[in-house]
Amino acid sequence: MDSLWWYPGLFGAALVAGFVDSIAGGGGLITIPVLLSAGLPPAEALGTNKLQASFGSGSAMAHFAGAGLVDWRQVREGMLLTAAAAMLGALTVQLASPALLRRLIPALLIGIALYFLLCPRTGERSRPNRLHPRLFAALFGVVIGFYDGFLGPGTGSFWAIACVSLLGLDLLRATAYTKAMNFASNVGALALFIMGGQVWWGAGLVMGAGQWTGARLGSRLAIARGARFIRPVFLAVCMALALKLLLGW
């Protein structure tokens, strides 16, 4: 587990994960199995994953914000609630088994993919919101934030579908909003995993460098090409995550 031979592979996996995650989420589909295959117990794999994912989500968030796609007044309350809920989720996962959620999540991901397939114009342009932004932040920040700290796969998909369907955001701005919330939940959960001693620092920092680079590339491509590029990647990630969870890590 401490062999230096692991590090180039971990960097490469995180680079690809950061690229995919910045566009459509699902980077954990790549990084968590890699960390488990390195011999880490589940809790330490999740903690290390949060460390490296914090670099990727932070990089993507900064790039989207630099393009004017993050409304800080809209996301700041949600980020605080999401971080707090993720801390609770990270504490819970160190005390309980996530097996039940692992069986439930694939059905939700398949449902999201079907929604976008059956409504092909969803997310192409902004629409009036159906839920007040503060209520939205409170409700989904607590629920999705807890889930991200507790288990994590599919978090970006859940945020994206919520932003498009209830906040009325187009898919590009929904992706930007999602990255801000992902960053908050990653940092919140990471704090609890650090307190529990569940982080492999060497791997996490090496992977963090890969995540930062991949996320910069992916977010730049998403901004340049917009919703029509994000949609197929998003659908592919939803189905791949569902399949991976059904088959097991």
Return averaged pLDDT per consecutive 10 residues of the chain, 249 residues in all.
76 94 84 85 88 96 94 92 94 73 63 64 64 90 91 82 90 93 96 92 95 96 86 81 71
Please tell me the predicted confidence (pLDDT) of residue 239: 81
**111 in any annotated domain:** yes
State the pLDDT at residue 112.
Answer: 65
Length of the chain: 249
What is the structure's pLDDT at 86? 95
Rg of the chain, C-alpha, whole Å: 16
Helices 6-24 and 155-162 pack at an angle, to 10 degrees, of: 10
Quick check: is 237 in a domain? yes
Residue 15 lies in a domain: yes
Residue range(s) defining the domain that contains residue 192: 6-247
Q: What's residue 67's pLDDT?
A: 93
Q: Which two tokens stand for residue 204?
A: 């996490």
Looking at residue 126, its pLDDT comes to 65
CB-CB neighbours of 141 under 10 Å: 25
- Answer whether residue 150 is part of any domain: yes
With 0.85 as the threshold, say if the pTM is over it.
Answer: yes
- Specify if 18 maps to a domain: yes
181, 141 Cβ separation under 8 angstroms: yes
How many other CB atoms sit within 10 Å of the CB of residue 222? Answer: 27
Sign of the C-alpha dihedral computed for residues 144, 170, 212 and 68 taken in this order: negative
Q: Is residue 196 part of a domain?
A: yes
Structurally, how many domains does the chain consist of? Answer: 1
Residue 216 placed within a domain:
yes
Residue 1 inside a domain? The answer is no
